[in-house]
Amino acid sequence: MNYPWHFLFMAGMYIMAGLFHFIKPKAYLRIMPRYLPQHKLLVYLSGAAEVLLGVGLLFKETKNLAIYGIILMLLIFLLVHFYMLSSKKAAAGIPFWALILRLPLQFVLIWWAYFYL
C-alpha cells in the first residue's frame, strides 16, 4: 500500500521510540511514576507496544487497529507527563517549560494518528 511520507515518518517515529526503550531503558526508568509497579517490565512492555503499533501502521489489515492503539497509548502516557510535573525529582532534569510544552504536543500526536483513520 502506498502511504504518504508523513504517515511513514509517523510509523518510523513510533518504531524508533519503542526501540529506545530497549537501548536506553534507564532514561525511561527515571520518569516512571512511583505508584506504578515493576518499572523495568513496564518500560519494556511500552517499548514493545510502540514498536508493534508502529509496524502495525504499515499493513492495511492492521493500520486502523494500530492507530487506535497509538491513541490509547498516548492517552496513557499522559499519566507520565503529569507525574513529571509533580516534583523536581520526577522531572528527571527536564526543564519545567519543556514538560509543559509536552502536554499539548501529546494531543497533536493523538490528532496526527487520528487523521489517518
Segment 87-97, tens digit of pLDDT: 998 999 999 99
What are the residue boundaries of the structural domains of the chain, listed by start?
Answer: 5-114
Segment 9-65, tens digit of pLDDT: 999 999 999 999 999 999 999 999 999 999 999 999 999 999 999 999 999 999 999
Q: Specify the residue for cell string 505508584.
A: 35
What's the rounded mean pLDDT across residues 66-94? 95
DSSP for residue 86: S
DSSP for residue 58: T
Q: What pLDDT is attached to residue 1?
A: 75
Q: Which amino acid is at 71?
A: I
CB contact at 8 A, 54 and 74: no
Question: Of residues 49 and 1, which shows the higher confidence score?
Answer: 49
Q: Say how many CA atoms lie within 13 Å of 60 toward its Cβ.
A: 2
Question: Quick one: cell of 87?
Answer: 516534583
Question: Quick one: cell of 58?
Answer: 504499515
Question: Quick one: cell of 100?
Answer: 509543559
